Amino acid sequence: MIFHGGRAGGRAIPWRPSDVYRGVSGYRSPVGPLPDEALLSGLVAGDPELAAIFVRRFQHRVFGVAMAVTRDQQLAEDVAQQTFERAWRHAQIYDSRRGSVMTWLTAIAHNLAVDAVRARRTEPMAPEDLEDLLDTVTATPEEWALADEASAQVRAALARLPREQARALMMAGIYGMTAQQVADAERIPLGTAKTRIRTAMARLRTVVAPAKRGDHVR
Amino acid sequence: MSGDANCERLREVGPELALGVLSGRERAEAVAHLDRCAECREYVRQLTLVGDRLVGLLPDREPPPGFETRVARVLARQTPASEGQRSARALGRTRRGLWQGARRARVRLAAAAAALAVAAGFAGWAVGTVVEQVTAAPPPAVESEPVLVGDMTAAGHGGEPVGEVYAHPGTPAWIFVSVALTRPGTRYTGTVTCLLERADGASVRAGAFALRDGHGNWGIALSEDLNRYSGARLTSSDGTVLATAQLRKAQVLTPET
């Protein structure tokens, strides 16, 4: 599917807005939920009903990311709203080849949340919050049993990491802390913080993208 | 330094680069290497995927009551037409604000050049050149104003400057950005965010503005102490870094009249 604005030969959106209208007006869900990309094109078309469905579908994900990073309900709500506004403004340049709508929105929410915390706080995270979050993302409750296999593998790999590596990775990857901030928070040398982040990422990389023969960087 | 040595260095900093937590100077060096090394680009792409998957593990949360309705209402109000009108009004306000800020700054030569550039949509704006010329040949009796200047280079493409950043750390502080990402693969149309970076890698959002086909000019008054910042970067809506600049301190020297 081509979904990339401005690219030669490609269409900005996979359906004309009028196609979306014909497909949904009057009977919004005749045979099942609309694809995520169709909802996004509804945003492009300025359809208020599709915009509402879009928000309803993704609000838990977006707010969850914002809340995990900011740990502040009001700030998380602001970040979540900004995420949807930004998605609305940039819906035409979403590129499905780079990931799903869910991944795209999650990345926007995460970037905005990290920037919001950097702008408002001196301490990016509290140690007890980190432990709670680490326990949460490495747990395997029943409702996650049906999660996609890739996520399950990453979750399992994260759980297998030595705790200090997992903490360093969460600080950098979730809270957006620099290696120096990780070193300060953990009271370890900068080099040790960098090594923990690097080693943890290397282990998860073997799950996400197994090494190919001839890889010159491992 | 040989290619292998650069790849070795990239292997060390790649994870931090992929997670977006590498400091400005190291990031610039790493990005410059990625421009020349396809294998390291693939390595960082895989690490970026790891970062995405990690964020993807965060649990969903129930938003506050009424959130869905409020956001949907906001989106419904923001039709493309009203967005354009709002942007035009905002630009007008920004330009007026910058003009007033420039008058207050008492940086006579630079302020006059900047204000003229603002009034003309930044076309031909060359405050950086003015700064260079003035500092290279100081006049005998002068007023001095500290400024921050920097050339902007395209992320992943390095080399030639693609724009300029000029900042005046006064009260209020103000910053001007002019960028022309015209090389193949760097053109971008949409809203970009301007982030100011401290030496330790922390950053603060200065604001956002529109790029059209890679071109854009923008300025804003800020309440931040700009002396704390050593770099600036422009990011797209999904956080991709489009261009970066290292800021260096300089003085605008103006003859007494």
A84 vs B71: CB contact, 8 Å cut-off? yes
Domain hosting residue B104, numbered range:
94-255
A197 vs B189: CB contact, 8 Å cut-off? no
Q: What is the mean pLDDT of chain A?
A: 77
Q: Which ranges constitute the DSSP H helices of A91-212?
A: 101-120, 127-138, 149-160, 163-173, 179-186, 190-208
| 3-class DSSP assignment, residue B252 | strand
For residue range B184-243, list pLDDT tens digits in order: 777 778 888 888 887 766 788 888 888 887 877 777 777 777 888 888 888 888 778 888
- Pair (B227, B147) in one structural domain: yes
Mean pLDDT, residues B110-129: 30
> What percent of chain B shows pLDDT beyond 70?
65
- Pair (B148, B217) in one structural domain: yes
Q: Is B242 on the interface with A (CB under 8 A)?
A: no
ipTM of the complex in this document: 0.80
Q: Which of A205, A206, A207, A215 best tests the B interface by mutation, with the highest count of B CBs <10 A?
A: A205
B54 vs A106: CB contact, 8 Å cut-off? no
Burial A167-186 (b: 16+ CB within 10 A, else e): bbbbbbbbbbbbbbbbbebb
- Pair (B201, B100) in one structural domain: yes
B43 vs A217: CB contact, 8 Å cut-off? yes
Q: Is B57 on the interface with A (CB under 8 A)?
A: yes
The pLDDT of residue B171 is above 50: yes
Residue B69 is assigned to a structural domain of this protein: no
Q: What is the number of domains present in chain B?
A: 2
CB atoms within 10 A of CB A203: 18
Domain with residue B161: its CATH number is 2.60.40
Residues 81-140 of A with CB under 8 A from B: 81, 84-90, 93, 99, 103-104, 106-108, 110-111, 114-115, 118-119, 133, 136-137
Smallest Cβ–Cβ distance between B54 and the set A114, A173, A218 belongs to: A173
- Pair (B157, B225) in one structural domain: yes
| Architecture in CATH for domain A1-121 | Orthogonal Bundle (1.10)
- Pair (B209, B134) in one structural domain: yes
Look up the CATH number of domain A124-210: 1.10.10.10
Mean pLDDT, residues A183-207: 96
| CATH 1.10.10.10 boundaries in chain A | 124-210
Mean pLDDT, residues B11-31: 89
The pLDDT of residue A204 is above 70: yes
- Pair (B101, B173) in one structural domain: yes
For residue range A119-136, list pLDDT tens digits in order: 876 566 777 788 888 988
- Pair (B130, B238) in one structural domain: yes
Q: Note whether B163 and B233 are within 8 A (CB).
A: no
B59 vs A64: CB contact, 8 Å cut-off? yes
Choice among A73-82, A209-218, B40-49, B60-69 with the minimum mean pLDDT:
A209-218
Identify which of A180-194, A199-213, B84-98 has the greatest average pLDDT. Answer: A180-194
For residue B54, give every residue at least 6 positions away whose Cβ sits within 8 Å of its Cβ, in sequence order, or none: A154, A158, A169, A170, A173, A174, A204
